[in-house]
Structure formats: structure tokens, C-alpha cells
Amino acid sequence: MYKIGMILLSCLLMVSCYNQTPESYLTMGNYQNSDEGIGFDEDLEIELPRTAEPPPPPPPIFTLEKGSKIIKNGSMKFEVSQLKLAKNKIDAILNKYDGYYEQEEYSSHKNRNSYSLQLKIPHAKFDSLVNVLEEGIGKLNTKNISAKDVTEEYVDLNIRLENNLAYLNQYKEILKKAKSIKEILEVQEKIRNIEEEIDRKKGRLKFLDDKVKYSTLNLEIIKLIKSEISDKPNFIDRIVNAFNNGIQEVLNLVIEMVSLWPFIILIMLMFFGRKSIMNFYRKNTPIGKL
């Protein structure tokens, strides 16, 4: 009888342990008793409380084939004979290929006039537009086209985003079961951090989508202004140039003298009136009176 009683007691203990509720697990496993209340376990991000329902299945793995997300950029520089005509051609081509100007700048210098243009073109039409420009704008001086595959980064960001969203939903469920102010504040802080991380990943994904959707082409068209350079002058031309330079120097001297006319008049008055000045000086000095 004693053995039978011990066997029954053991069975009752096993059944009571098996029938623990999720709330008892939440209290015993992931929360700890303290003077202020039930403490929050920092490992909740990894080890979440069990529930009566089976846990949700993990999110499907986000996949893309390599080369699905390509960012294309380029730069081209043309020398043209008619700047305005070349600019009008680019306007028409850009409109035909559903692109737009992100930046447009005109500059004028002594030896050249130019347009610096930043074009945004749909990714699928980028190569065709580059070929049309290369054939019909002018003399191509430089060309540089680059492509960057961001598929791996794009897939990684999506997987991390899906994990963050799954964690966010789980923490919101935990928040519903929180009982003390401390528990609520700690879970809310976790939720805030996850939401900030989600916003960052969404922003980066949007940036990559925009870069992939529209390619960038920096375009410069230049019209050179050629100045006429005469040959070295011969002997007769040099004499003529020297004579002309001499005349120019004389004219410059006359102009300078004219600008000094008050001083010239004063000197002339002193020269022609020197006798009168000397007589006046002699009469009005003691030596002159003697």
C-alpha cells in the first residue's frame, strides 16, 4: 500500500506541473520579484513568454535574384557648335524618354559657354537614351557609365524589417499582460526602439527604390569661342605699329598736360610777372629802402 500511495503522489505532482498556465510562466520565467514589483527580463527580445496558442510561424524569407536591383549612374561631356540647338535636342529627347531635369545650370566665360545638366531617366530607358545622345548631340569628349548591384542589401533590409515587425507584434502582446508601471515603461521603451529601427529601414528601402527606379546622368554641353590669333607682324607692320604707338604716347602726354592746366597757368603768370614781383619785393623790404 505504501508503494501504491507513493506512485499516486508522484503522478499528481507531474500533472500539476504540466498544467501550469501562461500567466504562471510569465511570472516565473521572464519576470522576477523585487521590492518595487515584478521586474522586466532584458532577454525578452530573444526568449518570449509562452502562450496557450502555438507561436506564429516565422515570416517568409524575402528573396530576389541577383541583379534585380541595379543603380545606374553616368556622366557625358559634349562639344557642340550651336549651344542652344543642342540644348533643345536634349529637351526633346528627355521628354520622349519620360525623364526630367533635377538640376540645370548655364555658365558663360571668355572662351566658352556651357550647360551643366543633371538628368533623371527611368531605369529601363537609361541605356537607350545614352545611345541617342551619343549619336546626335555633338562631339563626345568624355563618357563614364557605372552600375551598382544593391540586391543583396535590399534583401537583407527586407528580412531585418520583417523580423522587426514580428518582434514589434510580440512586444505589443506582452504590453497587454504587463501589470506594473515599471513593466509597462520597460516594454514601451522596447517598442519605441523597434519602431525607430523599422522607420530607418523603411527610409533606406525607399531611398534604394528611388535610386533604382530613376537613373542619374550628369551631362555637360560646351561651345568653345575661338579667338583669332594673327601671325607675327612683318617689318613694315612693326614700323607702322611703332609710329602709331608714338602718336598715342604724344596724345597721352597732351592729355596729362591738359589735366595740369591750373599749375601751367600759375607758372606762366610767375614767369611773365617776375619783374613786377621783384620790384614790389624791393620796395617793401628794409634792404630795398636803403
Q: What is the pLDDT of residues 166-215, one digit of tens each?
A: 999 999 998 888 888 988 899 999 999 999 999 999 999 999 999 999 99
The pLDDT score that the predictor gives to residue 90 is 93
User: Taking every pair of C-alpha atoms in the chain, what is the biggest distance, in angstroms?
Assistant: 173
Q: What does the pLDDT average to over 243-269?
A: 75
Confidence of residue 243 (pLDDT cuts 50, 70, 90): confident
Per the model's pLDDT, the better-predicted residue between 35 and 121 turns out to be: 121
Nearest to 52 by CA among 14, 26, 16: 26
The pLDDT score that the predictor gives to residue 252 is 77
The pLDDT score that the predictor gives to residue 201 is 92
Most confident of 5-19, 132-146, 216-230, 275-289: 132-146
Q: Are 101 and 94 in contact (CB under 8 A)?
A: yes
Q: 25-31 contacts: CB < 8 A, separation 24 or more?
A: 25/49, 25/50, 26/177, 31/183
Per the model's pLDDT, the better-predicted residue between 73 and 9 turns out to be: 73
What are the residues whose beta carbons fall under 8 Å from the beta carbon of 69, sequence distance 6 or more? 149, 150, 151, 154, 208, 212
Judged by DSSP in three states, 281 sits in: helix
Q: Please compute Rg for the chain using Cα positions.
A: 46
The span from the CA of 58 to the CA of 64, in Å, is 19
Per the model's pLDDT, the better-predicted residue between 217 and 233 turns out to be: 217
The span from the CA of 244 to the CA of 144, in Å, is 54
Tell whether the model's pLDDT for residue 42 goes beyond 50. Answer: no
Q: What does the pLDDT average to over 25-31?
A: 38
Per the model's pLDDT, the better-predicted residue between 9 and 129 turns out to be: 129
The whole-model pTM stands at: 0.51
